Chain A
Amino acid sequence: MFKLASKMNWNKPYLFGLFIFMVSFANLLHSNSSASEPAKIKTKHIIVISQFEFVPAKLEVKQGDMITWVNKDFAPHNITSIGNISVNKNLTKLSPDLLSENEYSMTISESFDYLCGLHPSMKGQIIVIKN
């Protein structure tokens, strides 16, 4: 773009107008492509697993945010989704069993309830709020 600009004959006003048009059009294309790209990580959240609880147990995030679960207990835990609150209740193991001090991260695209598959009394909830 800059090479093209330096080779141009700026004495011809219509060429200058054409150049401005091309720059504006390129900017427009760029902004449109950003909108269609998948959501990028916006904010990082941490959920601590401690004393056999997810802390915080309920977390509101925006679509594309990243959550990291950190296991601070002596016992292993995992993150098992119980599905979208209103759609289904199928158990899906999202993380491997996390030993003490291990962690697991994922980018959030939708709301879901979850539990620890090893200790089902431990429950948590991720709620995606509108941007």
Chain B
Amino acid sequence: MLTHKNQKLSSYKTGLANRKRKSSITKNIFAVGSILTLLTGCVNATTEKENALTDANIAAIVVGANNIDISAGEIALARSNNPEIKKFAQTMITDHTAVLNAAVALVTKLGVTPVNNSLVATLSEQSMQHEAKLKTLSGSEFDKTYINHEVSYHKTVIGVIEEQLIPAAQNQELKDTLISVLPAFKAHLQHCQMIQSRI
């Protein structure tokens, strides 16, 4: 009986020791994780410094971002039956074409050739996935998916312009153009949020 009790006690102690060891391992994993996160942050910061956006990158992002919304608008014009969605899509095509033309005219004047970077690649890839999805939808499902994406897309682009492009722009005329197109993106965001609340 006593032996049995001792065995149980010994087993309990072993279990406790194992648990403590596991807990210690878990703590270590967290610690290593935290260090890795910090290191990654440092590496990212260094990479960002090394890969600071040039005016050529900014030009590529502006061209790419406008083309993406024009393309989505053309799909909405073709597939939606909702007059409000169609009207919004037409406004997106008109306005983003105007921004695109202004941007192309400016970079031509400045002699800047747009150079793609990882941000343009990411935006393009997401856009292709979104367009592929849109092409499988119809009716209210299409309208909701289109307008929800317009809301999130405009939020993203506004953030990129405000936090990355404007601070990074070297040429003052390019910086001024970026500042002047922001109200358009903000008006578009408010417009699609209005539609989003109704459909």
Q: CB within 8 Å of B: which residues of A?
A: 51-53, 73-76, 100, 118-122
Contact = CB atoms under 8 A, between A and B. Distances in A.
Contact of A52 (B98, B99, B184, B194): B184
A130 B183 CA distance: 35
A75 B95 contact: yes
B94 A75 contact: yes
A40 B190 CA distance: 39
Contact of A53 (B102, B183, B188): B183
Interface in B170-195: 180-181, 183-184, 186-188, 190-191, 194
Q: Is the interface of A mostly helix, strand, loop or mixed?
A: loop
Given A51-B180, A51-B183, A53-B183, A121 B191 contact: yes
Nearest to A100: B98
B98 A119 contact: no
A9 B188 CA distance: 81
B18 interface: no
Q: Determine chain B's interface SS by DSSP, over half rule.
A: helix
Contact of A75 (B98, B186, B190): B98
A121 B187 contact: yes
Contacts of B180: 51, 74
Contacts of A75: 94-95, 98-99, 184
Nearest to A53: B183
28 contacts: A51-B180, A52-B183, A52-B184, A52-B186, A53-B183, A73-B184, A74-B98, A74-B99, A74-B102, A74-B180, A74-B181, A74-B184, A75-B94, A75-B95, A75-B98, A75-B99, A75-B184, A100-B98, A118-B91, A118-B94, A119-B91, A119-B188, A119-B191, A120-B191, A120-B194, A121-B186, A121-B190, A121-B191
Contacts of A73: 184
B94 A52 contact: no
A82 to B, nearest CB: 14
Contacts of B99: 74-75
Interface string B121-146: 00000000000000000000000000
A6 B164 CA distance: 87
Nearest to A73: B184
A122 B184 CA distance: 11
Contacts of B183: 51-53
Contacts of A118: 91, 94
Contacts of B181: 74
A118 B184 CA distance: 11
Contacts of B186: 52, 121
Contacts of B102: 74
Nearest to B189: A121
Contacts of A122: 187
A33 B183 CA distance: 50
A121 B94 CA distance: 17
